[in-house]
Structure 1
Amino acid sequence: MSQDQTTTVWAKTALVGNEWQSNVQLTLSMGKITRIIANAPADGHLANGHQAALLLPAPANGHSHGFQRAMAGLSEARGPSGQDSFWTWRQLMFRFLDHLTPLQVQAITAYAQMEMLEAGFGASVEFHYLHHQPSGQPYDDLAELSARIIAAADISGIGLTLLPVMYQYGGCDGRALGRGQRRFGNDLDRYSQLMSAVRNAVRMLPDDCQTGTAPHSLRAVAARDVQAIAELAQGGPVHMHLAEQLPEVAEVQAAYGARPVEWALDNLPIGPNWSLIHLTQMTPQETCDMAQTGAVAGLCPLTEASLGDGIFDGVRWFENGGRMAIGSDSNIRISLAEELRQLDTSQRLRDHSRAALATRQLSTGRRIFQAAAAGGAQAAGRGSGRIEVGAWADLLALDMSHPDLADLSPNTALDTFVFAGGNDMVRDVWSAGRHVVQDRQHIARDAITAAYRKAIKPLRDGL
């Protein structure tokens, strides 16, 4: 999808920087915002022009496993042990991916990306750990499955940050990968080759797309190799699962003599290019210390609830200047509004409070939306997250004709989107200037949906 042409977007109200402005005209060129004029007259006859009622920066989806979208709703039965958890869910996931072909990965990921765009996300960070054939044997092209993620982004038009995941072991004791994990595994040399191949493949996408690295977790990567993996990002984003589950905390503590967050703070150069995913099992002190590093907390509240991970300590995190991105992780439900809502309402349930993440200056929806936009851009290594000159034109227009939004002030409309609305309130989305969602629907919805239907039928029949 081309971003070369110059186009104009006029908004009755837009969140420019940190302020609401009226009658705002944006000029988009080469995927970026090149000019902003406030108090500009509406002109419905501008060539290549579009109008919006309420315009926002479109946050990046900070953490996704695209292929898991096809598993949504299939893992809700009680298992034979009667003690279901993240770990029993993971066994179903392993069986599922044993059957995935490259074309199915592409079709499923494109569908997930389409839904992200229709939900209001402007870009996606793909935490991609599926690399090899079901036997564990690499494809002739080492980057075959990464190339399918890239092809999906070419179809959907989403801005992509692709993070090939380094996965070595089945646990902190260095045990070999099990049957369901064989498609993940690499040693450091082969991972370096994979990164080179992926960088070359990403060049087929527009300039806003890029790569980073992802040491999967302290369970799956040798401690001695985490820093080397981070260096292969070449200054780009580095993402890692950290402190997601109680058994994970216990395993790391037994192996390394420290809790995961404690060990990471003492042994890794955690900083603004790092994104630590989940962080649902932190002590209060760990929360304060990690927040102050400038790293991003990659939060996926719907998945964290679905898998019983725990509740992220958002109140303490924000009080200590922490930054956060919102992701859809397992893609069991792709909704920007619902992820934000789950983040705040989980704080309320834990603390018996209301408006847990609001401040005296900002309402809850406004605060967490802006935090997700800024933190998502940081996690993606993407110059977006704000409507300003020079930023990538990742834009979200709310449908102010929706009966629950009509006649509301901008702040109240944003709160209503987050706490009483959802995807049906998203009217238009641009990803680096590509106008991919128009009048509530992705421009390639029919073709993407048909390919998805074809891909999932044999997978579901085989479970």
Structure 2
Amino acid sequence: MPDLFLPTALLPDGWATDVRLRVSDGGDITAVHVGSDARGARSVPGITVPGVPNLHSHAFQRAMAGLTERGSPTGDTFWTWRRRMYAFLDALTPDDVEAVARQLYSESLRHGFTSVGEFHYLRNAPDGTPYVTPHEMGARLLAAASAVGMGMTLLPVVYRTSDFGGAAPTGAQRRFVATVSELLDDVAALEVMATAAGGNARAGMALHSLRAVPPDALAEALSGLDGALARAPIHIHVAEQAREVEACLAWSGARPVDWLLDHAPVDPRWCLVHATHMTPDETARVASSGAVVGLCPTTESNLGDGVFPFPGFAGNGGRWGVGTDSHVSVSPVAELRTLEYGQRLTRQLRNVTVGPVDASTGRALLEGAWAGGAQACGRPVGRIAEGSRADLVALDPEHPALVGREGDAVLDSWIFSGEDTPVRDVMVGGRWVVEEGRTLDQDSNLEAYRRVARRITRPT
């Protein structure tokens, strides 16, 4: 492909002008030259920044966004939301999931996400039996990402029990359950499919939670993954709810994060999703492990989970990224803005996440999301640099939110100046997947989603 010429771009060392990129046919950046010229290159108008990795997604939940916003005489919590989610997913077929995922990933690309960590636990048919091809649902998610051009780390989920102490799965959880051996077979099959898609996809593994993965299954899964895909990403939900912490203490005498760190080899390949309810000691231990914490601020706000102890974690050098989780938002800047505003509200201060320095909050937020998301997804993304994937987002400098902005003020204004996206063009792995605000097959993907939504959505 021809070289790319970027009039203004954010590189690892800072803002640069007249940047020329060479991109391989496989979608990797092979050379970066600053102060170059545009001769023979394709010029990319606007301000170019790295695409943002979305480290935590349950794609099917996009179709139920907005359908659980009803109060209850006894109070509404994460646990009542979960019951409604279980009822909703009974209607979903593989065709439905693929259509929902295509629309979700298409919307996400238009807002600046260029890769996704898909935490995939909707495995079985509605009666709990495997599909003829057991990894059918995972294959549909890979197909959806490939069709619209979204990078993917697909994370099939180990799910064995309904609560601490080995409680049997409930009937509502029958679509999630498989043996560890079956799950590892899924991982192996999906890694073959992902590899065939080139550098835009890979597989890893997720452990649903300590509630759903008892110690013997945890050990078996980790051993099996190391034998099949050494150094693959490992994700787990942990300490999202105070009730989970209390139940873990009753079961083991330890809090969830402490128990995990004491019984699993948590290291930089791990992503601890949410980790909302931690003590200062747990916070410091996670930071020192090198693991990434996956923050999902709009979902955590929607579910009333709580507020992550960000200053203590960041102060210990903790690594973090953001995900959209239940997809009440599909925008990286909405996640980052909600993260910052939650910290402001609890501490009654401004510009909390940047720390006590004279620096851009927007830049600090995006740099955290780029680095942590790339690590959690196990892919070379989040940087415009040699050896990274060519995942680029071109922002429109004439958009009302960005007019007259330069340097880090562009990033601050992108995050803190409203909802209308200034993203104009997006490249993923060397392929243009958004041009002038439109995604690949945008109209047909939307119509397929509409057909599914009309059939399955209803107030719950």
Same fold (TM over 0.5): yes
Letter in 1 for 2:396: D
Asked if the contact 1:215–1:230 (Cα under 8 Å) also holds between the matched residues in 2, the reply is no
Which residue is 2:282 aligned to? Answer: 286
Given the alignment, which residue of 197, 200, 209 partners 2:192? 200
Letter in 2 for 1:68: Q
Q: Answer yes or no: is 1:62 the counterpart of 2:62.
A: no
| Corresponding residue SS for 2:231 | coil
Q: Answer yes or no: is 1:307 the counterpart of 2:300.
A: no
Structure 2 unaligned segments of length 5 or more: list them.
none
Q: Cα RMSD between the aligned structures?
A: 1.5
Asked if the contact 1:365–1:415 (Cα under 8 Å) also holds between the matched residues in 2, the reply is yes
Separation (CA, whole Å) in 1 of partners of 2:132 and 2:214? 26
Asked if the contact 1:292–1:320 (Cα under 8 Å) also holds between the matched residues in 2, the reply is yes
Which residue is 1:72 aligned to? Answer: 65
Q: Answer yes or no: is 1:338 the counterpart of 2:338.
A: no
**% identity of equivalent residues:** 41
Separation (CA, whole Å) in 1 of partners of 2:458 and 2:375? 40
C-alpha displacement of 1:461: 5.0
Give deviations 1:136-174, integer Å, cap 9, x for gaps.
011111101111101111211111100000000110121
Given the alignment, which residue of 394, 413, 419 partners 1:416? 413
Asked if the contact 1:424–1:440 (Cα under 8 Å) also holds between the matched residues in 2, the reply is no
Which residue is 1:430 aligned to? Answer: 427
Which residue is 1:442 aligned to? Answer: 439
Q: Answer yes or no: is 1:376 the counterpart of 2:368.
A: no
Asked if the contact 2:68–2:459 (Cα under 8 Å) also holds between the matched residues in 1, the reply is no
Alignment of 1:94-105 (within 5 A): 94-105=86-97
More off after superposition, 383-392 vs 230-239: 230-239
Query: Given the superposition, is the C-alpha separation of residues 402 and 16 from structure 1 closer, same or farther in structure 2, using an over 3 Å criterion?
Result: same
C-alpha displacement of 1:186: 1.1
| Corresponding residue SS for 1:309 | coil
Query: Given the superposition, is the C-alpha separation of residues 423 and 177 from structure 1 closer, same or farther in structure 2, using an over 3 Å criterion?
Result: farther
Letter in 1 for 2:65: A
More off after superposition, 420-429 vs 338-347: 420-429
Q: TM-score, normalised by structure 2?
A: 0.96
C-alpha displacement of 1:132: 0.4
Which residue is 1:115 aligned to? Answer: 107
Asked if the contact 1:336–1:422 (Cα under 8 Å) also holds between the matched residues in 2, the reply is no
Alignment of 1:130-209 (within 5 A): 130-209=122-201
Which residue is 1:11 aligned to? Answer: 6
Letter in 2 for 1:82: T
Asked if the contact 1:297–1:323 (Cα under 8 Å) also holds between the matched residues in 2, the reply is yes
Separation (CA, whole Å) in 2 of partners of 1:31 and 1:105? 27
C-alpha displacement of 1:225: 2.2
Letter in 1 for 2:264: L
Q: Answer yes or no: is 1:237 the counterpart of 2:200.
A: no
| Corresponding residue SS for 2:199 | coil
Given the alignment, which residue of 29, 39, 48 partners 1:33? 29
Which residue is 2:345 aligned to? Answer: 349
Asked if the contact 2:67–2:458 (Cα under 8 Å) also holds between the matched residues in 1, the reply is no
Separation (CA, whole Å) in 1 of partners of 2:291 and 2:205? 15
Q: Answer yes or no: is 1:23 the counterpart of 2:18.
A: yes
| Corresponding residue SS for 1:174 | coil
C-alpha displacement of 1:442: 1.1
Letter in 2 for 1:304: E
Query: Given the superposition, is the C-alpha separation of residues 26 and 260 from structure 1 closer, same or farther in structure 2, using an over 3 Å criterion?
Result: same
Query: Given the superposition, is the C-alpha separation of residues 244 and 100 from structure 1 closer, same or farther in structure 2, using an over 3 Å criterion?
Result: same
Letter in 2 for 1:8: D
C-alpha displacement of 1:184: 0.1
Which residue is 2:218 aligned to? Answer: 226
| Corresponding residue SS for 2:156 | strand
C-alpha displacement of 1:118: 0.8
C-alpha displacement of 1:106: 0.3
Separation (CA, whole Å) in 2 of partners of 1:263 and 1:317? 18
Separation (CA, whole Å) in 1 of partners of 2:81 and 2:341? 24
C-alpha displacement of 1:361: 5.2
Aligned residue pairs, count: 454
Separation (CA, whole Å) in 2 of partners of 1:162 and 1:213? 8
Letter in 1 for 2:336: L
| Corresponding residue SS for 1:258 | coil
Letter in 2 for 1:283: T
Structure 1 unaligned segments of length 5 or more: list them.
1-5
Separation (CA, whole Å) in 1 of partners of 2:145 and 2:402? 31
Give deviations 1:355-386, integer Å, cap 9, x for gaps.
00124253110011011001111011001111
Asked if the contact 1:54–1:410 (Cα under 8 Å) also holds between the matched residues in 2, the reply is no
Give deviations 1:19-53, integer Å, cap 9, x for gaps.
1111111121220111111112345xx36x13132
Which residue is 1:392 aligned to? Answer: 389
| Corresponding residue SS for 1:402 | coil
Asked if the contact 1:114–1:156 (Cα under 8 Å) also holds between the matched residues in 2, the reply is yes
More off after superposition, 416-425 vs 62-71: 416-425
Give deviations 1:299-338, integer Å, cap 9, x for gaps.
1000000000110111111111111111000011111111
